């Protein structure tokens, strides 16, 4: 059974189980870099609040691994009931900008890879990237959720994007603290977790960590305190200035993903080699959904530009 057939079978089974009191539908959701995911929603008829969006790709992997369709359908229903009506959002929360403005943040996405999505969003161009606003919802019961600020949102709120952009920049600084980590320390932390999960042996991890520690130049990872959509920290001028002083001169910014960037002082490595390295990592190690750019950026003490 291919993925499309799987979607239709799951939809039928869930509808049969939930019967007439619930409306069950499939939706195509366009995510970052044009990645299109299929999700199922189960909404109680007459209920107008937010409902869980449950993506099906992992469930298809379960089916391929041998899990029965009925068991998968029941799993989906259980997830729905676990979160049903627990998202404490009302239309007043969403439609009133005064209720939203303290939750607006900024993120960076690639312009070329997100043409369709950006046609529906207000944004500012930043080199080959787009600065996009999003709302960071903090729900006590289920944690953090995000939703893009769309053109429809701007119209509903009766504000201009400059206002939203200013609020997002201010909130990003005040709410999402900048986090800086030496890449050697990060490597140790990541590989310790991989050892615990059985994904790599301790001998392999120690060899990789040793190679990282032998690097001839310092490298730092910059993100935000939530380590989510943290590449936008490069919009914050004091962060750029800090590393200019730390490195005592120009340095490169490598877009490792939409969640973080790596900064490294200028070395004898050519720009072409740097770009080749970034492109190779994006193609082989970074989930396509999280790729930011294949470019390398340079900060000269006054501005950030594509190198």
pTM of the model: 0.83
Asked if the model's pLDDT at residue 66 lies above 70, the reply is yes
pLDDT at 162 over 90: yes
For the chain, list the strands marked E by DSSP.
Answer: 22-30, 36-44, 54-55, 104-110, 123-126, 129-139, 143-148, 178-182, 220-224, 251-254, 261-265, 297-299, 304-306
Over residues 114-132, the mean pLDDT reads 96
Q: Which two tokens stand for residue 40?
A: 């199922």
Q: Is the distance from CB of 83 to CB of 142 less than 8 angstroms? A: yes
Among the ranges given (123-127, 151-155, 180-184, 197-201), the one the predictor scored with the smallest mean pLDDT: 197-201
pLDDT bucket at 103, cuts 50 / 70 / 90 = very high
Confidence of residue 190 (pLDDT cuts 50, 70, 90): low
CA dist 279 → 143, 180, 218, 256, 291 (Å): 34, 23, 21, 10, 10
Residue 237 phi/psi, 5-degree rounding, is -55, -40
> So where are the chain's domains?
3-83, 94-175, 178-306
Q: What is the DSSP letter of 225?
A: T
Q: Rounded mean pLDDT of the chain?
A: 87
Q: Which residues contact 178 (CB under 8 A, 6 or more apart)?
A: 222, 223, 224, 225, 233, 236, 239
Q: Is 285 left (phi over 0), alpha (psi -120 to 50) or beta?
A: alpha
Please, is 245 exposed, middle or buried when counting C-beta atoms within 10 Å of its C-beta (0-12, 13-18, 19+)?
exposed
Who contacts 129 (Cβ-Cβ below 8 Å, separation ≥6)?
Answer: 108, 109, 110, 111, 292, 293
Q: Pairing mode, if any, of strands 129-139 and 143-148? A: antiparallel
Q: In whole angstroms, give the CA distance from residue 97 to residue 99.
A: 5
| Residue given tokens 């799987």 in the structure block | 6
Q: Which two tokens stand for residue 201?
A: 């042996």
β partners of residue 298: 252, 305
Mean pLDDT value of segment 189-210 = 66
């Amino acid at each position: 059974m291919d993925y499309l057939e799987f979607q239709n079978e799951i939809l039928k089974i869930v509808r049969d189980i939930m019967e007439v009191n619930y409306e069950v539908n499939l939706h195509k959701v366009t995510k970052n870099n044009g990645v299109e995911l299929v999700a199922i929603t189960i909404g109680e008829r007459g209920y107008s609040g937010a409902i869980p969006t449950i993506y099906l790709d992992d469930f298809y992997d379960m089916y391929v691994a041998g899990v029965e369709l009925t068991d998968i359908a029941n799993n989906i229903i259980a997830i729905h009931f676990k979160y049903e009506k627990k998202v404490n959002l009302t239309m007043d929360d969403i439609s009133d900008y005064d209720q939203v403005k303290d939750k607006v943040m900024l993120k960076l996405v690639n312009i070329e890879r997100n043409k369709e999505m950006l046609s529906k969003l207000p944004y500012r161009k930043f080199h080959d990237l787009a600065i996009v606003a999003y709302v960071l919802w903090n729900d006590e019961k289920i944690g953090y959720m995000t939703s893009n600020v769309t053109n429809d949102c701007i119209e509903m709120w009766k504000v201009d994007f400059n206002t939203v952009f200013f609020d997002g920049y201010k909130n990003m600084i005040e709410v999402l603290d900048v986090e800086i980590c030496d890449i050697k320390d990060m490597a140790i932390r990541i590989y310790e977790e991989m050892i615990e999960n059985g994904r790599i042996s301790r001998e392999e991890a120690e060899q990789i960590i040793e190679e990282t520690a032998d690097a001839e130049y310092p490298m730092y990872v910059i993100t935000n305190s939530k380590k989510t959509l943290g590449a936008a920290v490069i919009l914050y001028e004091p962060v750029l200035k800090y590393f200019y002083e730390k490195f005592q001169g120009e340095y490169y910014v490598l877009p490792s993903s939409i969640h973080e960037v790596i900064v490294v002082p200028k070395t004898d490595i050519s720009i072409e080699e740097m770009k080749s390295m970034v492109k190779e990592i994006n193609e082989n190690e970074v989930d396509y959904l999280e790729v930011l750019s294949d470019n390398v950026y340079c900060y000269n003490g006054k501005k950030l530009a594509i190198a």
